[in-house]
Amino acid sequence: MVSIKKSKPFGLWDSPVSARMLSQDTRLTEVGWSGDGKTLVWLEGTSGFGTLVAGGNGEPALVLNQEVSCQGGVGYGGGEFSIHDNTVYFTGKDGSLYARPLGYHHARAITPVYGGLASPVVSPDGEWIVYVFSDGTSDFLVSVDSHGKTWPQKIVSGSDFYMQPTWHPHGKYLAWVEWDHPNMPWDQTRLMLADVNPLNSPNPENVRLLAGDVDTVVIQPAFSPDGKYLSYLSSHGNWDALILFELETGKKTILYAPENVHLMEPAWVQGERAYAWQNDSQTIAFIQYQKGVATLWKINILNGERTQISSGPYTYFRQISISVNDQIVLIATSARIPPRIVVWEGDTWKVVAKSSTENVDPQFLSNPIPISWPAADQTLVHGLYYPPTNPNFTSNGKPPVIVHIHGGPTSQSVAEYNKDVCFFTTRGYGWLEVNYRGSSGYGHEYEKMLRKNWGNLDVEDAVDGARALVSEGLANEKQLIIMGGSAGGYTVYNCLIRYPGVFKAGVCLYGVSNLFTLDMDSHKFEAHYNASMIGHLPEAAERYHAWSPVFHAEKIKDALAIFQGSDDKVVPPNQAEEIIAKLQQNGIQYFYRLYPGEGHGFRKNENILDFYQQVERFLQQNVLFAP
């Protein structure tokens, strides 16, 4: 029986994707295998609490940490846990490192409550743990005995940041990544290697630089299971390379250096993994990224032969891990599939855990269409367009379109499940993700274009992207909306200021309004980010003033909604309060919602629910029903 579509205006379609349903979804951020390869442990985030779950072994899933939230405490987080044999070592939100054996046990603190912790890794004999520590001012690599009998000891210091410590399988070496201000970890890093006496506490000796120089990024060191090689990812010209370092001879080999694809993403958080060794020490499984789509491959290190592993229904992968039985587990997703924990079984993907109930028919969910348009300098700018999608409705004319600006700004919108996209496209909105000049994923040269131009090129590309949709007949010119959070919120403000009337409304989430105060208030990780993106003060003061929305707020004429977390340490509430004061002085109407207890991004179920409800109401009043 053929269903007859109902005619209803764009934006008012009845949707099976409710605000309450989305507010209940779980975040899946990390996964790993137990030492015997029989049990999976993964991290779920629900309403601000990080829950470790053990399962996938045929037994009912078991929650491992009811008492304390598992949360990475360095920078933006990540690197929350590791597993040695059948014990999980995890970082608590309270600043302690915990040990939790699998089975019927309780988590036990093995370090005092202090500072922020990330990336705990256990020595092969199980006696020592090395992890990243930060007190917000200084960062170190720290060691502690795995039983918590002694005080943690600082073992590596002197650099501003540390990431991804890793043990040699025989306990002879320790490798890690480090870098210094003013660089970010996608600008320049160093791979360090040190000798360690496995019979003593892990005090690194003979520390030497293995890789990394000016403008070279090196991340994700990993020793081969047989201890012969140290592998790592490195920037390589405009793209990336997978490199092998033979420990005995010191020989370096570029195993794989493709063109037009990336092998790594910007390291915004600790603990990211884009590849893993198989146990024969001859094969590496890796993720490859191209224009917002990820694929999975294997490469033989002896002959360089590559084999693609079927992606199945998925278009993006994260956090690869391989068991002692060579089983691959990943976090997988697509535009129509919320994130899942999946295991490759040789010819198909087995689903172990889901982040959502998945009770919406996929035919209601929009698939992205890669698009591009020329910038003023003729650079091709990239984006993903999601058309309005709902099999029950049709509309006349062109749809309203939400032009979305990702955060970062050194980041990328990819072909993955996006709750915002699902909510709005099922209601009849189009959606454009703008990967403006400066976004990652399209070559390092493209990524570097935004340096000294943040607040300029991103604004041009957002406006040009909206106009490109109009010219292609994909958007209603009178119903364009711009939305973004953090760095994307900064672009929202600037678009409304410099291009009044292009967008009917703007939705800004914890957006930057004053570059001067951001420079003074920013957390350590991004303390010098503005210098790269805009310029050094005082020399660049003119650009800071020209591109700070707060000094030009009187030019905003279009409807504006602002959402902010009260506990945001990255973009503090004063960024919203300053521009709101200017809007009030000039009699400009706005909507403002401050969420108590929220940080940089909204995690609490009740606030996520309210956000969707408020934005839908705001757009109805100021776009759909506005003259």
Q: Which of 158, 178, 207 is the last residue of a domain?
A: 158
CA atoms within 13 A on the CB side of 150: 12
Judge if 365 and 351 occupy the same domain: no
> At 442, which CATH number?
3.40.50.1820
Tokens of 232: 């790592």
Tokens of 417: 């499940």
568 in a domain, yes or no?
yes
pLDDT in the model for residue 2: 54
Judge if 320 and 365 occupy the same domain: no
Residue 219 to residue 211: CA distance in whole angstroms = 10
pLDDT in the model for residue 1: 47
Judge if 12 and 45 occupy the same domain: no
249 in a domain, yes or no?
no
Domain count for the chain: 3
3-state secondary structure 60-101: CCEECCCCCCECCCCCCCECCEEEECCEEEEEECCCCEEEEE
338 in a domain, yes or no?
yes
Average pLDDT, whole number, for the chain?
96
Judge if 502 and 604 occupy the same domain: yes
| Helix, coil or strand: residue 575 | helix
Q: Which of 355, 373, 406 is the last residue of a domain?
A: 355
140 in a domain, yes or no?
yes
Q: Which domain holds residue 47?
A: 26-158
Residue 291 to residue 443: CA distance in whole angstroms = 10
CA 576, 580, 586: angle at the middle one, nearest 5? 155
Tell me which residues of the chain have a pLDDT lower than 50: 1
Q: Of 152, 209, 142, which is closest to residue 177 (Cα–Cα)?
A: 209
Judge if 483 and 340 occupy the same domain: no
Is the distance from CB of 9 to CB of 428 less than 8 angstroms? Answer: yes
Judge if 401 and 366 occupy the same domain: yes
pLDDT in the model for residue 58: 80
pLDDT in the model for residue 60: 87
pLDDT in the model for residue 215: 87
Judge if 478 and 412 occupy the same domain: yes
